[in-house]
Structure formats: structure tokens, C-alpha cells
Structure 1
Amino acid sequence: MSFTSEAAGALQISYTVSFPEAQAHYADIEMDIKGIAQSKLNLKMPVWTPGSYLVREFAKNVESFSAQSGGKAVDVTKVRKNVWQLNTQGVSSVKVKYRFYAFEISVRTAFIDVTHAFLSTSGMFFYPEGGLNLPSTIKIIPYKNWNKVSTSLEMVGNDPFTVKSPNYDILYDSPIEVGTQDIFDFKVGNTNYEVCMYGGGNYDKERLKKDMAKVIEEEVKIFGENPNKRYVFIVHNYVKGGGGLEHLSSTVLGATRDGYTKESTYEGFLSLVAHEHFHLWNVKRLRPIALGPFDYDNENYTTNLWIAEGFTAYYDNLTVRRTNLFPVEHYLTALAADFNTIDNTPGTKVQPVSQSSFDAWIKSYRPDENTINTGISYYNKGAVVGMMLDLEIINATQGKQSLDDVMRYMYNEYYKVKKRGYTDAEFKAAFEKFAGKKLDDFYAKYINGTDDMDYNKYLAYAGYRAFNEYEGHSIADLGIRMLPPANPAGRIKVAGVLRGTAAWVDGINVNDELVSINGVAATDPKTLMKDKNVGDKLDIVVIRDGRELTIPVTLKQTTQKKYSIQSRTDLTPQQQVVRKKWLNFN
């Protein structure tokens, strides 16, 4: 009998996870499968995790894979990089055993040591081919003094170490933290929130409860409802940490252990909370049509990550601003930083943001020394596109509507009513519906094209102006990204060369080690261009592949920009209306 999804529907599956060698970063996993009716059973490991658009080949961490039934070995053949085939002729149940190595610290990969286990489920648990709709249970046997489990999965009975999932899409969207983590909770509306803190830190629980609740309340207002009854924040605190990964009813955050008492770091943490929590609507439920049902074997391509991720990046700082947890000036500084990132990335003139979304699988998560010249981040550019569309709608409707209304409309129309993802054309039509105008030109310039972004056209609606502090000044620039001295000779190493700059034109290379400029030792990145002028001709001595070379370079005007956002003093009534609507400006 060949394998079919119909046959898979009769399977009963449970897992047991133990940590006999946690110090060596291993989990031992047993997968019990009952109700087998086919002669061959394919077990598959996902190659990527939703929310992180890179094929990570999780099967590389699997070892000692074996299967038995009734105490007898079952033949196993690995038939693909992530597929193990079991010969189940005459067998109705089988116990699969394998070891999993977990030693990569990130929000999207599993990590195990003696202090805790972070189980990134999409990269650890096999599923039967054709059986993504199957339920399963996971029993955890904790290591030594571990006494807590944090996950959005439901407990089985009153046993916190046994959880269940209704299907594999839910299982793969529900990471599990096991250890001695600090846990506190709070409630927002009818939703219970659990915060799990691993790694210690100087956080103030009561302050976090209050401030996180404010952020959450502000986001619920946008969509009109919270679809979760329970939500879990898993926070990993390190000496220096950051980043996050969204899930359907939880998120994993990286944070700086002792950064909670520093204003800028704390604000950054709240923005991260806002970003990942916003995803429970935008991308986990309101999603591009390509992102679900997931193909766990291959890339899932979409041109709309500028909405899924970029708009989320727009709303993170904006949400915190709306709560008044940081002042308008801080928000505008963060917005200007996005402008800088875009305009100081030569790749913004090469790659449209829609193509950046599509190419995430081969570019965004695989940056190299030339990435800055060939691509643009759909996070930063998508966030600014969100700002521009938001201000366009607010201005066109005299403050009666905003991008919030587009997001709420799309959530209701596609997630709740049509129960499917959206196409690019459908989201464009929604923008046009609320803006009251066609956006073909906007899309041609900023979404599918590489035109310079007209920040000031849109900021002017709210009485602001982006000012480039370098404009009108003669600033000589070599055009390189540098690594500080890390070799015995104390030489600066070139990490990147920006397109169109002096270094690009005259042939400075990545990995060149700077020796001297016009006979003066080049040891301090901060003073490299001191007393240099546009048009100066320099002899730059470098070490390249162990050989000393002298490269003549003619300095050019900097291509870099440094924006600040300034307010008009004579706001019109219309600008006052737009500003108040946009930034919750009192």
C-alpha cells in the first residue's frame, strides 16, 4: 500500500522529549506512531521556520535515527535530505528515536544547555507525509532542576510537562521553553498574557506589566479584537540581545539582560514587543496568499513582505508613540533613522521593495559584502512606505481615516470573511479605497520601482520636514565600511565598498587592510578623513592577499545623508488635524 494523506488521517502520534546530555546540547526524542495502515511511511522534517525566510536545513541536526516495532527493528531509508522512509509492511505501530543537536542562539533555532531548553518546534519534530492536519501530544521529561514549561500549546490535563497540538501548523507555530524561567502574567481585556523571562535581568515586572499592556491595548484598537484568549512572550535575556520571531499565539524575543533601566534600550524593547505582537494579526492571520498553507519543504515566495514585515516595522514605534511611552521627538528620530538606512543603501536604486520581498530567501538572510549595493530591506523601506500611505489617507480624509482602517478592513475581509490570504492587487485596491485615488504611480515609483522616496511630500501633510544635515556641505568620503583593527599590525580592514564612491571607482576592495594614506599610518577609523577635501588625490597603501599595493584614489563628495525631522512653526488647521491623528499628538 502506498502512502496517502487518507491513510495518514488514521495515525495517532505522540512525542517524548528528554535531555540526558543537556550539557552537550542534545535532546533525545521518541515519536510513537499508532494506527499505521500503509506499507511505507515517510517522516519529514521542515527545512525552514515560518517568519524567517531562509531554508535552514534543520535535518542537519538529526542523528541516530532508528525505528522499531514490538522490539524489532524497522527498516529505515533516508530518501531525501529531510525525509526518512520507514518500511511498515505488516506493522501497525512504530517507535522512532533520534537525537537532536541544539546549539544555535537565535529566536528561530533550538538551543539546549544545562540552564534551559528552547525547543523551536518547526526545526525539531518530524511529521508524517500528508499528515499536517494530525493532532499530537508532547511529553517533556525535564533535566535535573528544570521545573517550568512556557508555551502557547494547551496542557494535557493538569500536567504542565505534557502538551497537545491540534495539527502540525499549530505545533510548528508554538515554541516551547523549559527550565527555571521567571514567569509573570497580566490580563488585557479577555486575553491572558504570560511573560517568561530566561537569563535574569534588571527588569521591573510591575512596570513591564503596565507598559506592555498599554502597547497591546493600542494594537487591539487597530484591529478591533484580540483573537487570542492566551498569549505567551518568551524572552531570552543575554549580555546583548535583540530580535524576535512571531507566532500565532506567542512570540520569542531576544533582549539585553541589564538594559531595562536604560531609557533607549527599554524603549527599544517595548518597540520589539509591539512589533512581534502586531504580527499576531499582520502575517499570522492577515497574510499574503503565498504564506499559508505552508510548504515546509520549499521556499514560499511572496512580493508582499514589505506589508507583512515592513508595515509591522512601521507600527512598532508608532504604537509605542501613541501610548505616550516615549515622546514625539524619539519617534521622529527613529523615523529619520529609517530614512538614513534607505538613502545610505545604494541597493535602494537597484532593487524594488517588492523584489526585495520575493528575494528574501536568497538575499535578506544571506547578506554578503556587496549586499548593501544590490538590495534594500523590506523592513525599513516597507515601514516608510507605510508612513507615506498612512499620511496620504489621513490627509485625504481630513483625519477621519488612516492606515489603521485599511489594516482592519483587510483583516476582516480576508482573514475572517474570505478565510484566505490576500493578493498584491487586493491590498492595492484597499489602499485606493481608503485613499480615494488610484495608486498606480505610487506603486510604479516606490513598490515596483526604485525612485527616490519623496519623504517631504508626505511629512508636509503633518507639518514636518526631513532635513539632510549634509546638504550644502562639502564632505569628502572614501566610501568604505570598516572593521576596527583586529590584527597584530593594528590595521583597519575594509568590510564593504559603497557603489559609486571614490573607493568603488578607484578600486579599493573588501578585505583590503589599510596601511597608510599619503604616508600617514591608517589606524583610527574616526580620523581617516580628517582634514581631507573633495578632489584630494591620495596614495592609499593596502595589504591585499599578503601583498602590499599602492592605490591612487581621488576623493569624492559623500553619497551619505543624515536626516533629522523638523516641525513647521506655522501649522495650518489641516496639518494640525493630520498630526494629531497620526501621532496621537495632544
Structure 2
Amino acid sequence: MKTLQAAFLILIVQLAFSQAKNQYRISFENAIHHEAKIQVTFPDIKTDTLSVRMSRTSPGRYALHEFAKNVYDVVATDGQGKKINVTRPNPHQWDISNHDGTVHLSYILFADRGDGTYSQIDETHAHLNIPATFMYAPALKDRAIALTVEPRGDLNWKVAAQLNDAGNNVYTAPDLQYFMDSPVEISNHTVKEFKVTSNGAEYIIRLVLHHQGTEEEANTYFENVKKIVLQEEAVFGEYPKFDNGIYTFLACYMPQVSGDGMEHRNSTILTSTRSLANEGMKKNIGTVSHEFFHAWNVERIRPKTLEPFNFEEANMSGELWFAEGFTSYYTNLILCRAGILSQEEYIKGLTKTFNYVWNSPARAYFNPIEMSYQAPFVDAATSVDPVNRANTFISYYSYGSVLGLALDLSLRSYKNDLNLDDYMKLVWGKYGKTEVPYTKEDLQNTLRQYAGETFANNFFGKYIDNSQMPDYKTLFSNFGIALLNNTKIPYHGIPITFDNNQTIVSSYPKKGTPAYAIGLSKDDIILDIDGHSFTNKKELSELLNNYRPGQEATITYKRFEKEIKTEITFAVNPNFEISLQEKPSKDALAKREHWLKAK
């Protein structure tokens, strides 16, 4: 019976692909100069003109990226090989007319940035992000796609992707959305796998590792990947139904790539210049934790504002504080539960993000929803004019992370049997497992269902719809955690960089700081404080030891080649240190252990 069912499924797939499908072919003869040769066939065209484009966006990114700039030598022919007309109505589009129902298109792609957004081609690999690589026809978005890869045999290249493997280096996708969401790593890589089960289904978790390290390093790293995978499943209670029963980590840890991580439906891109030697093992693993959590939160628990994903314009979403921010909260929490970080390391590690959000003047302008709206301007977006982000923007990753922390600790303090894990399970069951896109109101209603109307309205009313900050000191104390700041350290608030024996104001000072109050600005050069010069961090620290908060000093700086003297009044350092209490109560210790222990 199973054999007949399998044969029937194969027949269905074959029938589907016997219909008109778009066919791509890519080769890398000139990889040494970062070029790929790409050929595309669009058959059975019913319109007089076929419009093809390069995407301006990429799944997982929220800003525009002009991929068309790296495409050239575009040639179009019809089904008989006759060259046909190509016009450019805009920078991203090619209109092809006078065809005979078939269009053959060829072009060269230049690609030399290896990360989660772009593509990189050299003689170590072909690292392909699909929107940055392949032209597409919007009118044919529902067609199946077949991609033929010609790997460099002389370089021992192999192909890895979440695409359906049809054999003989042919990979298929059911439609354009799936194709665009399916990165490809072609290299002489290592593959490691292990199996997990969920609701009676078995899945393969696969690590594709392109690096210059040892087999021992790869094995050690894979053991940590396994721990993360198991702890994240425990949060949601089950794995997603991975297509083809496989989830793939495409890890490229090579010196020429750019550090990044990018989630996809059944795979993720992990890139870093760090090898797995020394500190690289621990520094790279956080991206594994973050991106795999996205297999639930973002890929399937998906904001309605990201559906359908637009390849021509940026999707604006107000839910990134949850989609990215809550994922960021779980990133290091999972590492702690997996034993990769100690409890002390995890708690101390909260400090930097907490201070960034707590001390930001940007909360006076935007709440977490409105911070999320700014993603098209900040998510690897580029601009040449200066911006005032230090005063107007808090990353939705960081903002959402400290709010996820607050919600988790608040739930655990409110009632002993409540916690963020179980809230996430409920959201998963309603909007992730069913793949019904959610709104902010859906998240609030689910919290009402889980913790009661008063609790949910209070949290969303104060911290999501507005930009108040929770009472972290009390929340931390409930779990044996100290939140302290040193009131004896003088604070000037001058963002400083030391360059060629000069002390330079490196960015625009934050509102509310002594530096802002005296009118310092980016690129000012600090000459001295009370006549004492300094050219490095150590000298400045030693000088500041002579002052206390509330004291004044004369600061001399240069702007536009003119020396200016003014008085600065040192303030109390607003930054906190987060650490474990030396003698927590038994109740606090028990709560902390329940929160941070392996599940």
C-alpha cells in the first residue's frame, strides 16, 4: 500500500513539472573574477511582452537592495535562437517583446559579498542568495521552477539547499516565493546530520559547514548545534513540519565573507569571518540559536504585514519587536539552557542590551511598534546623509529583547505556573502551526487568553502601545539578580574614538547627556580637560578618576579649526551592571533555576 502511495505521489510531482515551468541554469567558469553565467528559459508565454526583473528585496530583510546593479551582458532570444528586443522601463526591469512564446535569457552576475542578503562567487564557493542572483518574471510567479547547477568539479564543489533535489544537480521549487526563499551554498563543504522526532514524524537536522578548520572543531560545534535544536523544540513543544523532512544550516565561516545570519523556511544562512578555532566556536553559535528559533517565530508565526512578501517594494511591519525582538531574547537564553553559557555569563550578558534600551532618548519619540516601522531605513539599508539614530532609534531586536525578558519575568512573578515559553506555545498553536498570519491585536488577545485581561492590557498598554519601561529592579530581584549602578563614577556622555593621537567625538551625543548640554557634536576634536590632554582610553580614565558627579571642568575642543572652551558638569553614570545576587533567597534561587535550567 505504501509503495502504491509513493508511486502516486511521484506521478503527481511528475505531472506538475510536465506543465510549463521556468528553467534556470548557472555556471561559474569565471569564478576567479566573481562572475556567474546565468541562463533562463521562460516557455509558453501568452503576452506580447514579457517583463522580467531583479528583486529589490530579500526574504528576512526589511529594506530595499538594488540587486540589478550587478547584472550585465543581458541577451534575449526566442525559441528559435533569434535575438529579440529588450528595453529598460526602469532600473530593475527588462521588457522583452517580439518573442515566439518562448524567451531564452542569458546574463552575467557579478557577486562578491557573502552574507544573508547578497551572493558571493570566488574559487572557494558560490554562495547564492536567490533574489540577488536570478531574474524573475512577476507574471509567472505561480509557475514551478527548475534550477540546474553546474558546480566546479575541479574545485570539488557540492550543492546544498532547501530546494527539492531532483538529482543530477537539478533543484526544484513549486513557485517563485519558495524559490526566492531558498539560499544555495556550492562549495567543498562538510555535512553533518542527526535525526529528531516530533508528533511521530522524523526530521533530519543538517549542518552544511564551509570552513577552513579541523574535523574535530566541526564535530564539537555540531554537538552544540544539537543542544540548541533540542532546547528550542522544548519552547514550542514540537518541531515545524519541515519540507522534505530536512532543516539545513548553511554555515560559511570563511575569511572573505561578511558576518550575518538569515532565516528561511527550512534553512538558514550563517556567515562569519571567524573560524571555529579559539573564541570563534562560542562567538558564532549565537547566530545558530537566533536563526533556528526563526523556524517557528517569523517563518511560520508570521506577521500579516509581511504577507505576501513583496520583491519590488519593502514590506513595513509593526510587529518586528516580537518577530525579531522576542527571538533575540531567546537567543542567549537558549544558550544558557543548553549549557553553552553559564547562568552567570547569561545574566551579565544582559547588561549591554539593557543599558542601550534603558538610556535611549529615542523612547520619547517612538514606541516598539514605531521602531519596527523604521526597519526599511536600518536593516542593512544604505544612505549617504547623516542620521540622528542615537537620539531617535532603538533597534527592534534590542527593544523587543528586553521586553521579552520583562514579559517572561513578569509572567513568572505573577503566577508560578505562567511563563513566556507557554505563551509562545499558545501563539504557535494559533498562528504558527496553522500558518495564519497574525496582527498585534492577535498577540494581545492571546496574552489575554493566557494570563488574563488585566495583565495583558497592562503589558501592551504600557510597553507596546506606549514606551514606558517595566520595573526591572523588582523583576530581577524576584530571581536573585542585582541591578546596580555606581553613583561615584563621573559621566560625560561624549562618544569618543582615538585616532592618530587625536580624541574625536565619534557620533552625535545623546540628548540628556553632559556632552549634549554643552553643544558638542560629531567630529569635534577634544583637546583637553582642565588643561590635561589625553590620547587613549587609559589616559582619559585616569584623568576622570580626579572628578565626581556634579563637579565642573573646563573642556577645550576644536571645531572647524577654531578652539572653543566651555564648562562641562559631570553627571552620574546612567549605566547599570546586571549580576547574580551573592545571597539570593531560596524562593528567588528556585525561580531562577526554573527559568534558566535545561528543558
Query: Normalising by structure 2, what TM-score?
Result: 0.88
Q: d(CA) in 1 for partners of 2:338 and 2:160?
A: 28
- Is the 2:130–2:181 contact (alpha carbons within 8 Å) kept by the matching residues of 1? yes
Cα–Cα, structure 1 residues 52 and 174, in superposed 2: closer, same or farther, change >3 Å?
same
- Aligned partner of 1:77 in structure 2 is 87
- Aligned partner of 1:549 in structure 2 is 563
- Aligned partner of 1:222 in structure 2 is 235
**Structure 2 counterpart of 1:207, from 199, 217, 220:** 220
**Structure 2 counterpart of 1:395, from 407, 413, 429:** 413
- Is the 1:333–1:564 contact (alpha carbons within 8 Å) kept by the matching residues of 2? yes
Deviation at 1:312, TM superposition (A): 0.6
- Aligned partner of 1:283 in structure 2 is 298
Deviation at 1:554, TM superposition (A): 1.3
Secondary structure of the residue that 1:193 maps to in structure 2?
strand
Q: d(CA) in 2 for partners of 1:447 and 1:568?
A: 33
Aligned amino acid, residue 71 of structure 1? G
Matched, 1:353 2:353: no
**1:443-495 per-position Cα deviation (integer Å, ceiling 9, x unaligned):** 2322122223321232244x33442232x32x32331222221x4xx212221
- Is the 1:231–1:250 contact (alpha carbons within 8 Å) kept by the matching residues of 2? yes
Q: d(CA) in 1 for partners of 2:458 and 2:582?
A: 28
**Structure 1 consecutive aligned stretches of length 4 or more whose deviation exceeds 6 Å:** none
Aligned amino acid, residue 152 of structure 1? Q
Q: d(CA) in 2 for partners of 1:101 and 1:394?
A: 52
RMSD: 2.4
Q: d(CA) in 2 for partners of 1:234 and 1:216?
A: 15
- Aligned partner of 2:195 in structure 1 is 187
Matched, 1:420 2:432: no
Matched, 1:120 2:129: yes
Cα–Cα, structure 1 residues 585 and 238, in superposed 2: closer, same or farther, change >3 Å?
closer
> Could you tell which deviates more after superposition, 127-136 or 163-172?
127-136
**1:343-374 per-position Cα deviation (integer Å, ceiling 9, x unaligned):** 24332343211111111112454585631211
- Is the 1:199–1:257 contact (alpha carbons within 8 Å) kept by the matching residues of 2? no
Matched, 1:583 2:596: yes
Q: d(CA) in 1 for partners of 2:463 and 2:36?
A: 47
Aligned amino acid, residue 397 of structure 2? Y
Deviation at 1:311, TM superposition (A): 0.8
* Unaligned segments of structure 2, at least 5 residues: 1-17
Deviation at 1:430, TM superposition (A): 0.9
Secondary structure of the residue that 1:109 maps to in structure 2?
coil
- Is the 1:201–1:257 contact (alpha carbons within 8 Å) kept by the matching residues of 2? no
- Aligned partner of 1:337 in structure 2 is 352
Q: Percent identity?
A: 27
Deviation at 1:156, TM superposition (A): 1.6
Cα–Cα, structure 1 residues 415 and 467, in superposed 2: closer, same or farther, change >3 Å?
closer
Q: d(CA) in 2 for partners of 1:164 and 1:540?
A: 65
- Is the 1:394–1:581 contact (alpha carbons within 8 Å) kept by the matching residues of 2? no
- The total of aligned residue pairs comes to 562
Q: Describe how 1:313-324 pairs up with structure 2 within 5 A.
A: 313-324=328-339
Q: d(CA) in 2 for partners of 1:524 and 1:362?
A: 34
- Aligned partner of 2:3 in structure 1 is none
- Aligned partner of 2:15 in structure 1 is none
Matched, 1:524 2:521: no
Q: d(CA) in 2 for partners of 1:53 and 1:551?
A: 44
Q: Describe how 1:183-582 pairs up with structure 2 within 5 A.
A: 183-189=191-197, 190-201=202-213, 204-226=217-239, 227-228=241-242, 229-239=245-255, 242-262=259-279, 265-366=280-381, 370-399=388-417, 401-417=418-434, 419-438=435-454, 439-461=456-478, 463-470=479-486, 472-473=487-488, 475-485=489-499, 487=500, 490-496=501-507, 497-528=509-540, 530=543, 531-533=546-548, 534-542=550-558, 544-545=559-560, 547-567=561-581, 569=583, 571=585, 573=587, 575=588, 578-582=591-595
Q: d(CA) in 2 for partners of 1:515 and 1:585?
A: 53
- Is the 1:501–1:558 contact (alpha carbons within 8 Å) kept by the matching residues of 2? no
- Aligned partner of 1:27 in structure 2 is 36
Aligned amino acid, residue 373 of structure 1? N
Q: d(CA) in 2 for partners of 1:407 and 1:133?
A: 33
Aligned amino acid, residue 383 of structure 1? S
Q: d(CA) in 1 for partners of 2:353 and 2:195?
A: 33
**1:279-330 per-position Cα deviation (integer Å, ceiling 9, x unaligned):** 0110001111111211111111111101100111111111122223322111
Cα–Cα, structure 1 residues 32 and 381, in superposed 2: closer, same or farther, change >3 Å?
same
* Unaligned segments of structure 1, at least 5 residues: 1-8
Q: d(CA) in 2 for partners of 1:315 and 1:361?
A: 24
- Aligned partner of 1:17 in structure 2 is 26
Deviation at 1:558, TM superposition (A): 4.2
- Is the 1:502–1:553 contact (alpha carbons within 8 Å) kept by the matching residues of 2? no
Cα–Cα, structure 1 residues 408 and 425, in superposed 2: closer, same or farther, change >3 Å?
same
Matched, 1:162 2:170: yes
Cα–Cα, structure 1 residues 37 and 369, in superposed 2: closer, same or farther, change >3 Å?
closer
Query: Normalising by structure 1, what TM-score?
Result: 0.90
**1:118-165 per-position Cα deviation (integer Å, ceiling 9, x unaligned):** 1110222122123222211111222342421111112222x2x22111
Cα–Cα, structure 1 residues 353 and 527, in superposed 2: closer, same or farther, change >3 Å?
farther
Q: d(CA) in 2 for partners of 1:364 and 1:148?
A: 31
Deviation at 1:393, TM superposition (A): 2.4
Aligned amino acid, residue 564 of structure 1? I
Secondary structure of the residue that 1:16 maps to in structure 2?
strand
